[in-house]
Amino acid sequence: MTYCVALKLKNGIVCLSDTRTNAGIDTISKYKKMFTWTIPGDRVITMMTAGNLAITQAVISLLNENIEHSEDGIETLYTAPTLFRVAEIVGDAMRIVMNRYGPGLSQAGESALSSIVVAGQRAGGEMRLFHVYSAGNFIEATEDTPYFQIGEHKYGKPILDRVIDDQTPLNVGITAAFLSMDSTLRSNLSVGMPLDLAVMKKDVIGFDQLRRIEEGDEMWAQMSEEWSAALRGAFEQMTLIDV
Amino acid sequence: MTYCVALKLKNGIVCLSDTRTNAGIDTISKYKKMFTWTIPGDRVITMMTAGNLAITQAVISLLNENIEHSEDGIETLYTAPTLFRVAEIVGDAMRIVMNRYGPGLSQAGESALSSIVVAGQRAGGEMRLFHVYSAGNFIEATEDTPYFQIGEHKYGKPILDRVIDDQTPLNVGITAAFLSMDSTLRSNLSVGMPLDLAVMKKDVIGFDQLRRIEEGDEMWAQMSEEWSAALRGAFEQMTLIDV
C-alpha cells in the first residue's frame, strides 16, 4: 500500500509520502511516489501517487514524455497557464492510461484504482491542491477541508482531524503530517520508510524543502520518540474510571 | 459500519461496541452489537458482532433458540463446559447461517462477511477471548496480541498499539478502549453513539460493569474533552521543524 498526505495551509503546502509498494505481502518493493516539476519563480508542482503502480507510473511517464515532445504543441506541465490546467492535464493522462489498461485489469479481476494528489503554485496564481481520481475527474482542497490523504489514510486521520485547519502555521503542519505518517507506519506494515517530503512556501514558487527521510534519520527518530513520550504522558494524565 | 474492541488484560476483559448500522449512507439505524449471557459464579459470556447484520442477527438468534430448546440435548452457551467450546458453538452457528444465506448473498453481489468476538470465563477456567470468522473458524487472543478489533478498526488502532499489553491494569485498559472508540467516532461517521460497555473482572464470573453510554453522557464527554486537551497539550510541546 501507500500513505501520502498533503496539507494546503495559509503559508504553504506540505507533501509527505512513503515509498513502500506491495503486490501481496510477499512482494514488497521500494518505489518513489512523489514527483516534482519546477521552473523556479514560474511554477512549482508536486504530485504523489497511490493505487495500481503500473497505472500511476504510466501516467507520470506520459506526462514526462509530453514534456520531452512539447515541440508538438501539446500543452504540458511546463506550459500550462494555471495549476487548474495542470490538474486537467493529469486527469487527461489518467483517462488515456485507464482506457488502455482498465478493461484488461478488470478482466483479470485486478483493481485499476489509482489516485494522484497534485499540489503547487503558478506565479501570479494561488496555491492549489487537487485530488485526481481514476476517471480523471478531480476535487480541490478548500478552507473547510485543507488536506488530502491517499492510500492507507485511516490510521493517520485522527491527528489531522484534531490539529489541522487552513490557518495552521507551516511548521505545525509539517509536524502534524509527520505524526500522521508515524501513526500509520507503526500500525500498518504496508507503509514504510524512507519518506519523501516537499514543502512549498506560499509565493516562493519553488521548494523550501525537498528531501528524503531515510530509515534511521535522526530528526525523524527524535520526533517519533518525542511524540511517543508526549502521548504516554498525555495518557498517564487521564482520569481513570474506577473499577 | 461498526467498531468493537475487546481487551484481555491480566485482571479482566473489557468489551466496548458502538451501535450504528448502515446500508448505504442514507439508511442508518441503531442496533445493539453486544450480547451477554451469564450464570453468576458459573459462566459469563460477552459477544460483539460486525459485518452483515442479517447474518450476525441470525447467529445470535440461533444461539438463543438453542438455549430455549436445550431439552433436545443440544449443547448451548449455558451448558458448554468451557469457553473454548462456546467459541466452537458460535462457529458452528455461523457455519449453519452462512450455508443458508451465503450463496444467495454472493449471487446478489452482497458481502456475507461477518465476525463475532467471544469473550468470557467459565468457573475454574481461564478468561478467554476469541475472534470467530465467517467460516466459523476462530483465533484466540494471546499475551502477544491481547486485543481484538472488528469493524472500522484502523482509526482506533494506533492508541491501542501504543498503550496496551497483557499486563495493562483494567482501569487503564478501559480508558484506552474509550480513547480508541473516541478517535473512531471523530473520524468515521459510520460509527456512532450510544456505546455498550462490558467489564468482566478475572475470576468474578459475572459483570463488573455492563452499561450503555448514551449520547451526551457526562463521563464520556469529560473523558473525550480531557483527551482532546491532553493531545493538544502533547502536540504543542513538540519541537517544531524550522521552515
Contact A237 B230 (CB under 8 A): yes
Contact list in A for residue B159 (CB cut-off 8 A) is: 231, 235
In whole angstroms, give the CA distance from residue B196 to residue B191: 13
B76 backbone dihedrals φ, ψ, rounded to 5°: -130, 180
Residue of chain A minimizing CA distance to B187: A158
At B183, list the grid cell. 478517535
Contact A243 B208 (CB under 8 A): yes
pLDDT interval class at A80 (50, 70, 90): very high
Residue of chain B minimizing CA distance to A160: B187
Is pLDDT above 80 for B154? Answer: yes
Q: Nearest Cβ partner of A243 from B199, B222, B226?
A: B199
Contact A158 B233 (CB under 8 A): no
Residue A167 vs residue B72, higher pLDDT: A167
What is the least distance, in Å, from the CA of B32 to any CA of chain A? 23
What is the least distance, in Å, from the CA of B222 to any CA of chain A? 9
Q: List the Cα angle A13/A45/A140 in 5-degree steps.
A: 60
Contact A235 B163 (CB under 8 A): yes
In whole angstroms, give the CA distance from residue B205 to residue B236: 44
At A85, list the grid cell. 490546467
In whole angstroms, give the CA distance from residue A57 to residue A60: 5
Q: Nearest Cβ partner of B234 from A154, A178, A234?
A: A234
Contact A175 B231 (CB under 8 A): no
Residue of chain B minimizing CA distance to A11: B243
Contact A231 B232 (CB under 8 A): no
pLDDT interval class at A1 (50, 70, 90): confident
pLDDT interval class at A57 (50, 70, 90): very high
A188 backbone dihedrals φ, ψ, rounded to 5°: -140, 115
Interface list for chain B against chain A, based on CB atoms closer than 8 Å: 12, 152, 154-155, 157-159, 161-163, 170-172, 174-176, 178-179, 183, 186-188, 199, 201, 208-209, 219, 222-223, 226-228, 230-235, 237-243
Contact A243 B176 (CB under 8 A): no
User: Cα-atom radius of gyration of chain A, to the nearest Å?
Assistant: 19
- pLDDT tens for residues A207-232? 999 999 999 999 999 999 999 999 88
Contact list in B for residue A222 (CB cut-off 8 A) is: 239
Query: What DSSP character marks residue B153?
Result: -
User: β-pairing, A12-17 with A43-51?
Assistant: unpaired
Once rounded to an integer, what is the mean pLDDT over residues A87-96? 97
- pLDDT tens for residues B167-191? 999 999 999 999 999 999 988 888 8
A127 backbone dihedrals φ, ψ, rounded to 5°: -70, 140
Reduced to 3 states (helix: H, G, I; strand: E, B; else coil), residue A144 is coil
- Name the nearest CA neighbour of A152 among B80, B157, B192, B222: B157
Once rounded to an integer, what is the mean pLDDT over residues B71-93? 94
Per-residue b or e along A5-25, where b marks 16 or more CB atoms closer than 10 Å to that residue's CB: bbbbbebbbbbbbbbbbbeee
Interface test with B, best of A145, A153, A155, A178 (most B CBs within 10 A): A155
pLDDT interval class at B73 (50, 70, 90): confident
Contact B175 A209 (CB under 8 A): no
Reduced to 3 states (helix: H, G, I; strand: E, B; else coil), residue A83 is helix
- pLDDT tens for residues B200-242? 999 999 999 999 999 999 999 999 999 999 988 999 999 987 7
Once rounded to an integer, what is the mean pLDDT over residues B3-14? 97
Contact list in A for residue B208 (CB cut-off 8 A) is: 243
Q: Which helix (H) or strand (E) holds B61?
A: helix B53-68
pLDDT reported for residue B24 = 73
Q: Nearest Cβ partner of B240 from A155, A161, A172?
A: A172
Contact B238 A175 (CB under 8 A): yes
Dihedral sign computed on CA atoms, order B207, B213, B217, B220: positive
Once rounded to an integer, what is the mean pLDDT over residues A157-174? 93
> Strand order of the sheet with strand B12-17?
B147-151, B3-9, B12-17, B195-201, B209-213
Contact list in B for residue A201 (CB cut-off 8 A) is: 243
% of chain A with per-residue pLDDT over 90: 82
Is pLDDT above 80 for B243? Answer: no
Contact A240 B172 (CB under 8 A): yes
Which CATH code is given to the segment(s) B3-236?
A: 3.60.20.10
Is pLDDT above 90 for A202? Answer: yes
Is pLDDT above 90 for A28? Answer: no
Contact B154 A226 (CB under 8 A): no
What is the least distance, in Å, from the CA of B93 to any CA of chain A? 32
pLDDT reported for residue B152 = 92
C-beta of residue A93 within 8 angstroms of C-beta of residue A59: yes
DSSP string of B175-228, one letter each residue:
HHHHHHHHHHHHH-TTS-S-EEEEEEETTT-S-SEEEEE-TT-HHHHHHHHHHH
User: How many angstroms separate the first and last alpha carbons of chain B?
Assistant: 41
Whole-number average pLDDT of chain B = 94
Residue of chain A minimizing CA distance to B225: A238
Contact list in B for residue A163 (CB cut-off 8 A) is: 232, 235
A-B C-beta contacts closer than 8 Å: 121
- pLDDT tens for residues A173-186? 999 999 999 999 98
pLDDT reported for residue B187 = 85
Residue of chain B minimizing CA distance to A242: B171
pLDDT interval class at A94 (50, 70, 90): very high
In whole angstroms, give the CA distance from residue B135 to residue A73: 59
Residue of chain B minimizing CA distance to A224: B238
pLDDT interval class at A72 (50, 70, 90): confident
C-beta of residue B59 within 8 angstroms of C-beta of residue B97: yes
Q: What share of chain A is helix, strand, coil (3-state, %, to 5)?
A: 35, 30, 35
Contact A158 B155 (CB under 8 A): yes
Largest CA distance in chain A: 74
- Omega before A194 cis (within 30°)? yes
Architecture of domain A3-235: 4-Layer Sandwich (3.60)
pLDDT reported for residue A188 = 86
Q: Nearest Cβ partner of B162 from A170, A228, A240?
A: A228
Q: List the Cα angle B209/B90/B55 in 5-degree steps.
A: 95
